[in-house]
């Protein structure tokens, strides 16, 4: 089977560089095209050189449409606005889209779902294998531990992250809500300040910390009478997300149109 031709949008960013490395290190695929936003200082430079690798013969351009046409799959860790545009391009060209972009509105998410009716889209708040194991465990624990156990989710990221709570934290919250048979929208508590009163039974609380260069720390706390159970995941580098994204792209090859998750990629059952 021919190598999967993978395109990377935002290839000069921190996550983009990790994706270039992960694709280059993986078997069965290669970096076929890479883009950056107009005016970026890395335009015209080789994607491999920017990632500290040997030259790949792939210069960074600005034409996302040409990138989608030239590739079998595209990896997107950009902004919500860009992710929606990339989903439309994927639907138009039949190119697999793997997206880890977070912070999407409900309207933007609807456009991702619409694109998935025409092409395979793998979307996840986090592509780390460890985080996806944590998601499965959180859902199972929430099924077993009733609302006498309060659920709190604490996350910390680097100072440059623009959305809060993180997409991964929200994913963990949705997993807990599924386990409890409720919707996160009705039961989430996004912050407390001042005289808040007693904690509302059954809510799922979030706390977001920002500082330094933290890649991503997440802890789900089940606080019950006489005991506390915690599930923690700490990412030491972006390569864990990048490897998962490449695995998702390879898995999606030949799949029917649809909106898939890392649970599908890893074969988890819900």
Catalytically active residues, by annotation: 157, 161
Nearest-CA neighbor of 249 among 54, 50, 58, 90? 90
Name the β-bridge partners of 41.
none
Phi-psi region of 59 (alpha: psi -120 to 50; beta: other; left: phi over 0): beta
Nearest-CA neighbor of 10 among 89, 75, 92, 96? 75
């Amino acid at each position: 089977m021919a190598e999967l031709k993978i395109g990377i949008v935002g290839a000069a960013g921190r996550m983009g560089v990790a994706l270039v490395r992960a694709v280059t290190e993986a078997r069965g695929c290669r970096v076929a095209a890479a883009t950056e936003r107009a005016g970026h200082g890395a335009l015209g430079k080789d994607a491999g050189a920017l990632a500290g690798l040997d030259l790949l013969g792939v210069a960074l351009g600005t034409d996302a449409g040409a990138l989608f046409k030239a590739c079998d799959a595209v990896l997107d860790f950009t902004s919500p606005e860009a992710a929606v545009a990339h989903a439309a391009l994927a639907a138009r060209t039949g190119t697999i889209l793997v997206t880890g972009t977070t912070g999407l509105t409900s309207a933007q998410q609807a456009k991702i779902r619409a694109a998935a009716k025409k092409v395979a889209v793998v979307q996840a708040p986090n592509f780390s294998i460890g985080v996806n194991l944590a998601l499965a465990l959180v859902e199972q624990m929430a099924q077993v531990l009733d609302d006498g156990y309060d659920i709190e989710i604490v996350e910390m990221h680097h100072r440059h992250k623009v959305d809060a709570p993180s997409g991964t934290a929200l994913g963990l919250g949705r997993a807990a809500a599924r386990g409890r048979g409720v919707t996160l929208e009705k039961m989430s508590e996004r912050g407390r300040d001042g005289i808040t009163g007693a904690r509302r039974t059954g809510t799922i609380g979030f706390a977001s910390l920002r500082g330094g260069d933290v890649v991503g720390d997440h802890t789900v706390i089940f606080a019950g009478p006489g005991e506390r159970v915690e599930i923690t995941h700490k990412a030491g580098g972006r390569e864990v997300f990048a490897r998962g994204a490449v695995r998702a792209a390879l898995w999606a090859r030949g799949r029917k149109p649809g909106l898939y998750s890392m649970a599908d990629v890893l074969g988890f059952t819900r």
